[in-house]
Amino acid sequence: MMTQVKTATEILAMRESGAMLASILNKLLSVVEPSMSTKDIAVITERELKLAGGSAPFLGYQGFPDVICISLNDEVVHGIPKADRIIREGDLVSLDFGVNYRGMITDGAVTLIAGQPKSKQQTDLVKFTRESLYEGIAAVHDGVRTGDIGAAVQAVLEKHGYGIVTDLVGHGVGHHLHEDPNIPNFGRQNTGPWLKAGMTIAIEPMATLGSPRVVMEKDNWTIRSLDRSLSAHFEHTVLITESGSEILTELPD
């Protein structure tokens, strides 16, 4: 399904959904620490989402078994929370989460370092992958093309020598978790499908310290870097406006 121009009522529901998502991710950022299991984090997420009054679009999506994806270190995306998957000091922890509220879905992700960082390389990967997300968002406006967004993300990641994961992309979002068109994290300006005000998209750069190639693990969900290099992932749901964009999943300061 192609992402649609949203009605005023649908935009309001997406703002509320996005605010709920941002609040919960912000809560997780404050509690995640070494010695926790990834399942511990998922339990907190489920509890907070229930208290907020939303539902989990990830749970059961094509068979996914939990409310949140939690990926560690060389895992790029779609890690399944597990009680025996323990977070260690200095681990990279990517939290990818969605919220359905009043029938409208938002999608967002952050990457954090648990405890003390292990290296400047690690902290820079997190910093500049996040920066690439905001450069992609800065390119958004009524009449933008997907290649314009991808080119903006790519410029930041290439500048710092990171592997750009090209097998995974952003997407339209709103009525469904994944809608057309794809929003790649690479591209050429003035190419790709046109987007217009009122549409909502998820921009989500994924970068590695090494190879951009990825492989699927035996669980048929977790995707990691082929060379096992560290990976970071950031994502926002964005409303395209006449003058630019509105981030619907922005975390509180």
The reply to whether 110 falls in a domain is: yes
End-to-end CA distance of the chain: 34
Residue 179, SS3 per DSSP: strand
Helix axes 38-52, 8-31, angle to 10 degrees: 140
The reply to whether 230 falls in a domain is: yes
Residue 75, SS3 per DSSP: strand
Number of neighbours of residue 51 by Cβ within 10 angstroms: 10
The reply to whether 142 falls in a domain is: yes
Residue 191, SS3 per DSSP: coil
The reply to whether 251 falls in a domain is: no
User: Quick one: how far is CA 149 from the chain centroid?
Assistant: 15
Give the chain's domain count.
1
Range of the domain at 239: 8-246
| CATH code for the domain in which residue 153 is found | 3.90.230.10
Phi-psi bin for 90: left (phi > 0), alpha (psi -120 to 50), beta? left
**Confidence at residue 250, expressed as pLDDT on a 0 to 100 scale:** 97
The reply to whether 118 falls in a domain is: yes
The reply to whether 2 falls in a domain is: no
The reply to whether 231 falls in a domain is: yes
pTM confidence score: 0.97
**Residue-wise DSSP of 134-165:** HHHHHT--TT-BHHHHHHHHHHHHHHTTPEE-
pLDDT by residue for the chain (253 residues), tens only, comes to 899 999 999 999 999 999 999 999 999 999 999 999 999 999 999 999 999 999 999 999 999 999 999 999 999 999 999 999 999 999 999 999 999 999 999 999 999 999 999 999 999 999 999 999 999 999 999 999 999 999 999 999 999 999 999 999 999 999 999 999 999 999 999 999 999 999 999 999 999 999 999 999 999 999 999 999 999 999 999 999 999 999 999 998 7
The reply to whether 253 falls in a domain is: no
**Confidence at residue 74, expressed as pLDDT on a 0 to 100 scale:** 98
> Can you read off the two tokens belonging to residue 187?
């591209």
